[in-house]
Structure 1
Amino acid sequence: MRINQDTVLQGQKVTLVPYTAAHVPRYHEWMQSEELQRLTASEPLTLEQEYEMQHSWREDSDKCTFIVLDAARWPGQTEESCMVGDVNLFLTNTEDPTLGEVEIMIAEPSYRGRGFGKEATLMMMSYGVRSLGITKFEAKIGQENEASICMFKKLHFEEVAVNSIFQEVTLRLDISDQERRWLLEQTNHVEEKSYTELKQPAGVLET
């Protein structure tokens, strides 16, 4: 999605940056994992296909994607070495443009269970409410992914459907005025900055 191509969201544990071609090799490496393929219901792609997917997601108006970086290490170290996962918002319901399907993946095992996924999800939801006009969220999660289901329930999502064929649970959260206040309170520490400016050393102009 072009709207977030120069947007950085800086939180306490995580920093969200746009998904660029520079992130593709590490992302592709992650997605060779059978565990991640199973948890995300994904098929393995070639590196070339992954580059095509990244370009598509950057251009498509119905997909908003951020790469999740370790905020303690970036800026400072290379983005690729600081990558811990990704977070997505799919606006694919043509009948209801205010509905966003949120998806979080913490690909690095050492970062799981430490609040990185929770903060990244809250930051993406807040961005969706503030910048994309989202008023309803859904999350579709494999039944075996109990940790992710538990996390979304802690974020006030409620289970609304179970698909036994795809072995998938659908959770939903409607953003009432009360939920909106809660969400913005949870993310009031987040700073929105320019990706271009953060990537450039002081005094260096892009040619």
Structure 2
Amino acid sequence: MRSPEPPIWLPAAGLILLLAGGGLWWFGPSFDHRLFDLAKLGAGDRFAAPALLLSTIGGLAWLGPLAFAFVLWLIWRKRPAEALWLLLTVASGRLLVEALKLGFDRPRPPMADRLTIVTSLSFPSSHSAGSMLTALALAMIFTVRGHTLFVPAIAFACAVGWSRMALGVHWPADVLAGLGFGMLWVAMARRWLFKARLPSSEPV
């Protein structure tokens, strides 16, 4: 079975979200702040614990080992091209997001609004970008009973993005840009950076 083709709208949607995040920060910071006030949760909110769980699962400490485990599994199944593609796509995307954070140097929301501890910079959200690019990269390779996983992958990443706003550690612009970056990076990797088609998709 051939590898699943990504939705035709994926790169366009990624670019739109990326530009929307950047535009919201640069041209509408007051609106960005108002959206943040609507999204953030209080310490006693019943959704605070689920948001923290989503944020934890969507972080590098969980998704990094998960992606690497799939890389090893693909190697074990004698699919080195897909293993290399997955490794390079996720690792390069992660590194670029961190470089963008340093370049844009946007501060996080105020400390008083945060429900969890963070120390890095804000734009773009690495949780949003990392969860999107990891989930989508896996969806490029694996299917479930012949069904593609693009919609669940995007839904998962959006839920992680919401959790970062709910916990008060990211502005909405950061999350939009992060989600858009993840979409765009995987679409570019799939369509242009690697010219050869991935030979197969593995049912799970």
Per the shorter chain, which TM-score range?
0.3 to 0.5
Higher strand share: 1
TM-score normalised over the length of structure 2: 0.33
TM-score normalised over the length of structure 1: 0.32
Higher helix share: 2
